A and B are shown apart, each in its own frame.
Chain A
């Protein structure tokens, strides 16, 4: 009976243990918050990220037969088509064949060399590929593709954005599948294309490279401080509960009486240490001797 009772962990015991050692939780939270904040700040200090997002409108224009004028035609590309073209542009082949040659005009990059594959070309290729993100916006009569550029190197980001602004519209205009041209049968038995459609890709937004993570070091510092403090509080609380449960030192008289099955006769306060102090004895006259 007693053995069972002493090993029970009740909510009350947990709270008592936490309350008793609350200062440990406070210290752990304080230390962890400082450590976490410092870690977050140091990790993100001076690591500015530059970037920009530019949006291209994709529309269909038609040229009337025999006329030099073009006019916009209400037409919506399918979502699948937009998805396919963005996926294609995210491929390594697009970056290697289109983006890198354009980028090489303004930014110095190593050239592809079969005999020397370790010359850094593939590193740049991977960097460029990971620095550009594509997304599309598909609505009725309105198709748009957004291209985001991100880099920790401001000049590189600028050059990449310029390259993207050139190659993306070209690629889209060349490769977007055109709606079928309308043909009519003439009286002489021949056919003639009445309407000719093609895709136009125009930049919608005026984008320029800017710092996109301003104040990130401070934000990360606060975020890390909170996360670390919370983690430390939880770990400290769990450790206190485990250690308190494992600690079988004498603390509570009532519990001791239960565990030992003998009464606790008295709880005596701290007294002077017999080993380090001295008390006088009495002489035959009943007086204390020094």
Chain B
């Protein structure tokens, strides 16, 4: 076990990954892979601003929130902080997962009712969450407003990584307001559940709204017979 911890913590880019927060060897490796891709595709300059990633999907139950949380934890290190923003102002599953759905959050901040310090919640070392806050009948308008753009800029100055957990694109348009704000977009789909056509539509929609689509993350994969398991058992 010590050997694995040592190996996993070392990482390919020399940046340790938060192994304690991971559920399995396969998950750790997959998130490390994703982290490397994002690091390469959205390379940070020395002393530059942080990078932001939008986690989007066609429909709900495709593992978007789970991946966003795991990615946020994976991206954060002792030196690099990460903030996860629950931009699904309608359902807010991420906020509910951390028991923060009754706390002031993004909606309240965008309405100018609270400060940034009031809405930041620490969920792991170097990892923060901005919950969705109060409910609003105008989520798209709030997310597409100037205040949101100001917040995005502010967060990139303060945090190394900004992860947006969005509402499903195939159902509501809220995530499309965030597409031009985020530096890169990752589309999440679930194995044996999501349809290729739906994922393609979501990507085309995001591209139309000037999103920088980095790629696709497949969640819920079956690793029962994979080389990961074979390798881990050796």
Contact = CB atoms under 8 A, between A and B. Distances in A.
A202 to B, nearest CB: 78
Given A250-B194, A281-B121, A286-B122, A275 B93 contact: yes
Interface stretch (A97-105, A134-142, A262-270): A262-270
A182 interface: no
Interface in B24-41: 24, 26-27, 30-31, 33-34, 37-38
B51 interface: no
Contacts of A279: 69, 97-98, 123
B27 A264 contact: no
Interface in B201-233: 203, 213-223
A250 B189 contact: yes
B23 interface: yes
B218 A253 contact: yes
B33 A266 contact: yes
A109 to B, nearest CB: 70
A176 interface: no
Nearest to A248: B196
Contacts of B154: none
A276 B199 CA distance: 25
B216 A256 contact: yes
Contact of A257 (B26, B94, B216): B216
A257 to B, nearest CB: 7
B218 to A, nearest CB: 5
B56 interface: no
A262 B216 contact: yes
B203 A271 contact: no
Given A250-B195, A271-B63, A286-B125, A265 B97 contact: no
Nearest to B216: A264
A202 B211 CA distance: 102
B29 to A, nearest CB: 9
A259 B197 CA distance: 9
B63 A268 contact: yes
Nearest to A264: B216
Given A256-B218, A262-B215, A271-B70, A249 B97 contact: no
Contacts of A267: 30, 191, 217-218, 221
Interface string A239-269: 0000000001111010011011011111111
A243 to B, nearest CB: 13
A269 B30 contact: yes
A108 interface: no
18 contacts: A249-B193, A250-B190, A263-B216, A264-B215, A264-B216, A267-B221, A268-B30, A268-B221, A269-B23, A269-B27, A269-B221, A272-B23, A275-B65, A278-B98, A281-B98, A281-B123, A282-B123, A282-B124
Given A259-B200, A268-B67, A268-B218, 11 more contacts: A249-B194, A249-B196, A250-B191, A264-B217, A265-B34, A265-B37, A267-B218, A271-B219, A275-B93, A275-B96, A279-B123
